[in-house]
Structure 1
Amino acid sequence: MGITLKDRLDDVEYKGRRLIWLAIYVATVVAIGFFLHNNIGSIYKFGMSIGSIFCKSQYAKSLFDGEDYSDAYPLFAEVSDEGYDNALIYAGICKERLGEYAQAAELYEQAYQTDIYSNESDYYTLAYSIACCYFNSGDYINALSWADNSTKGNLSEGFNLAGWCHFQLGDTNSAIDSFTTAIDLGYTEGLYGLGCCHERNGDKILAADCYRQAAQAGSQSAKERLEELELTEGQ
């Protein structure tokens, strides 16, 4: 059977498609070559930047893991300035473990303003860390603000910290409310704070009961305070 006109037309169409794709391929290669030729400096700098950030962050992490927070901090701070947002958290932890709580809080706050986390619950945990830093620095007003932020995620430890903030600020009734909520959520450490509130209000019986429950739950501070209270009552 010979070659028909349709066969010839199909062959021509096939070769035509091949030529079109070849032209597209050549044009693409030329365009890429032109782009690389004109942007090679920027591409090189970008690649070096990414490599530099990675190397610095890995070295900083190794120092961090070795508890060398003084040397790890400046490296984390540097790579955070270069766009590595997660470094802000590590930088904050370094400052916190060095006892520089106000600076740690500021770094955590910067991280809070970024899209560093995908889960909303992680932001409540970060808010709690910020509150702890402010509390440890003696800034109870900012500590309370961030502790309240963390309670939006129903963090029991956030309610407990809010209780201590209220207590330090002299608002014993609000402290009792916060400690009670923490306890209701299963945070037994709130019992010690609740005992301190009742003792401040002059109700030593309720205070002793709270201290006793807290001591049974493992609180050494509550155990010591209960012994002091019983000793005072026995005199």
Structure 2
Amino acid sequence: INNEIGTLQPIDRIAKLVRRHAPDALLHTDAVQAFCWTDIAHITRNADLVSVSAHKFGGPKGVGALVARSSATVHAVQLGGGQERERRSGTQNVAGIVAMTVAARLAAAERDASIERLGALRDRLLDGLLASVPDIVETAAVYVDGVSDRTQRAAGIAHVCIAGVESEALLFLLERAEVFASAASSCASGAMEPSHVLAATGLDPELAKGSLRLSLGWSTTAAEIDHALTVIPGAVAQLRRFNV
């Protein structure tokens, strides 16, 4: 899953291409963002190496896992006592590992219900913004019969681009009103430029300057969505009046 715009990558199709054109290559998948939004079993079946991180699904920070196919050779980069089958030396963080395991089980058990609840809130947020903010674009939107199909995007990520505003100025106004978001932009050589992800989608660079990413999680409520829908249109209108 792309952590900026939420698109799901077709790992099964990617794996087939790798096997066909580079059969000796190892396929590693960064599934850190994916655990809460899709069953990663299909990822582990298709990739040689899969990385996950506990803090993304309710576990503690500083602990993760590398799921490795038995045929994949993993060389240690940390030498010493030979722990973890001589693949990563150093005293294991037993408490962190146990906590990660419990969190993974709980997240997997609640995944479908969480996706349904947060997907509905995300749709409420996106549909509300599209209806109330002129010249706004839903990033990575795929339309089927005139309706945005969001099934191939993470339920917890909403990303839009707004014409006529700068992300940083918008974020300042939103934070003052207790709406916390990100711009999904990076700074290069002192000049603000659109992220490489937005550039890769072919988005107009000027429009990309108004990128806005909003995250939803287990604690997100309908009241918070409604608050965002009250604040964001007014903030955009204010910036457009001053052409910021």
Classify the TM-score, shorter chain. under 0.3
TM-score with structure 2 setting the length: 0.22
Q: Whose radius of gyration is greater, 1 or 2?
A: 1
More helix by share: 1
More strand by share: 2
TM-score with structure 1 setting the length: 0.23
